[in-house]
Amino acid sequence: MKRTPQAGKARSAGGNTRNKRKKPSAAAARQAAVAAPVPELSSIRERIDEIDLRIHELLNERARFAQQVGLSKRGAGLSTADFYKPEREAQVLRSAIERNKGPLRNEEIVRLFREIMSACLAQQEPLKIAFLGPEGTFSQQAVNKHFGHSVRALPLPAISEVFEEVQAGHADFGVVPIENSTEGTVNHTLDMFLNSPLKICGEIELRIRQHLMGRMSGLQKIVRICSHPQSLAQCRQWLDEHLPNIERVPVASNAEAARRARDEDGTAAIAGEAAAEVYGLNVLVPEIEDTADNTTRFLVIGRKLFSASGQDKTTLLVSAGDTQSPGALHRLLTPLAANNITMTRIESRPSRKRKWDYVFFIDVLGHAEQPPLQTALAQLKQASTLFRVLGSYPAAVL
């Protein structure tokens, strides 16, 4: 039988169709994905509104329970500082990290829960937090990271005044810098503990991003650079490379540097982003710190010790009778090693009792009221002429 042209065309078309069905190309797959049905934008927004409503209801429910806690504590005659439980807050934040499945990062989850706890605690009465000011310093950023924004932040001009305000009861807690990951210890903070009865109630680790800022629009108009000595040191390599002949002026704080940059022609400052916002400055070059993981550790100081959180540090102040005698430091550290205690930091400072006599500040893992650290401290106390637990507190969550 004679095939018609139409039949041949049909078979040919059918053969081509069968070949295409075997395996779609990558381009075809992408087109199919784009063409796949997606929920209407309006329905997505409706769903988000429903979720927001539930979140709002739960937040207010949590705040009402916080109010009830406050009434109960007030009835027991407790003060505002007694409302704050750093061990409990650390446990809440760690639990939030453990159950976090994304897409929000752990840092974002911690920040959200910190602000929720801060706002709920303020339903009882806002905490008063003293810090090394003025406004716009990294110390203020540390306050916000640890306590949230629902507190009364009290900027003070000196570390000693932070201690004094907390000791006098004018502030519930204080926040002071203790060490930087590249520039080392803030000795003034350590020395304050020699005569202060205050305790360490927490620690804060703050990633430090140093920005060059000023009123000018470019580097060519900079005559001098002001900043805290620590910040100048943390940016030394960048300054040597990019602005080697510009005068560097150390000042009491980065916020003071930002204020001068606002008020003086030709003055630039090195400070954090908050200072640029407070003083209305242009960020000329962001993140000029020499070390990518530049971090400052702050201490939270208060008037009493707190219970264990499950992941704690303890800071000790110890000394031997004669620190120049052979093996004096070894005798102090032996109880820690014998009980498998991890020491994370040790610093020596003059005792101020006589020349060449020293005391030691030691950070260890664990809580002073829990074994094996409890056993080690009992032995260490017997080997020391000076022994004080400056604080047992939750290790920094992030």
pLDDT digits (tens, 9 = 90+) for 234-253: 999 999 999 999 999 999 88
pLDDT digits (tens, 9 = 90+) for 330-380: 999 999 999 999 999 999 999 988 888 899 999 999 999 999 999 999 999
Task: Return the closest-CA partner of residue 276 out of 258, 250, 251.
Answer: 258
Distance between CA 280 and CA 264 in Å, rounded? 13
75 pLDDT higher than 90: no
Give 136 or 189, the one with higher predicted confidence.
189
- Confidence grade of residue 161 (pLDDT, cut at 50, 70, 90): very high
- Which pLDDT score, from 0 to 100, does residue 350 have? 94
Distance between CA 231 and CA 225 in Å, rounded? 11
User: Whole-number mean pLDDT of the chain?
Assistant: 90
- Which pLDDT score, from 0 to 100, does residue 124 have? 75
326 pLDDT higher than 50: yes
- Which pLDDT score, from 0 to 100, does residue 168 have? 97
Helix (H) or strand (E) holding 11: helix 5-22
150 pLDDT higher than 70: yes
- Which pLDDT score, from 0 to 100, does residue 13 have? 44
pLDDT digits (tens, 9 = 90+) for 271-280: 999 999 999 9
Say which range, 76-90, 207-221, 257-271, 346-360, has the weakest mean pLDDT: 76-90
- Which pLDDT score, from 0 to 100, does residue 10 have? 41
Say which range, 75-84, 189-198, 207-216, 291-300, has the weakest mean pLDDT: 75-84
- Which pLDDT score, from 0 to 100, does residue 77 have? 76
- Confidence grade of residue 2 (pLDDT, cut at 50, 70, 90): very low
- Which pLDDT score, from 0 to 100, does residue 112 have? 97
End-to-end CA distance of the chain, in Å?
84
Q: What percent of the chain has pLDDT above 90? A: 74
Mean pLDDT for the stretch of residues 46-61? 96
- Confidence grade of residue 17 (pLDDT, cut at 50, 70, 90): very low
- Which pLDDT score, from 0 to 100, does residue 34 have? 55
Say which range, 120-134, 184-198, 308-322, has the weakest mean pLDDT: 120-134
The number of residues in the chain equals: 398
Angle at 367 between CA 365 and CA 368, to 5 degrees: 115
- Which pLDDT score, from 0 to 100, does residue 67 have? 87
Q: φ, ψ for residue 284 (rounded to 5)?
A: -80, -45
Give 68 or 288, the one with higher predicted confidence.
288
Q: Can you say whether the dihedral through the CA atoms of 73, 76, 79, 81 is positive or negative?
A: negative
- Confidence grade of residue 69 (pLDDT, cut at 50, 70, 90): confident
Mean pLDDT for the stretch of residues 212-239? 95
259 pLDDT higher than 90: yes
As to burial, measured by CB atoms within 10 angstroms (0-12 exposed, 13-18 middle, 19+ buried), residue 131 is buried
80 pLDDT higher than 70: yes
What is each CA distance from 11 to 14, 19, 22, in whole angstroms? Answer: 5, 12, 17
Mean pLDDT: which of 23-27, 72-76, 328-332 is highest?
Answer: 328-332
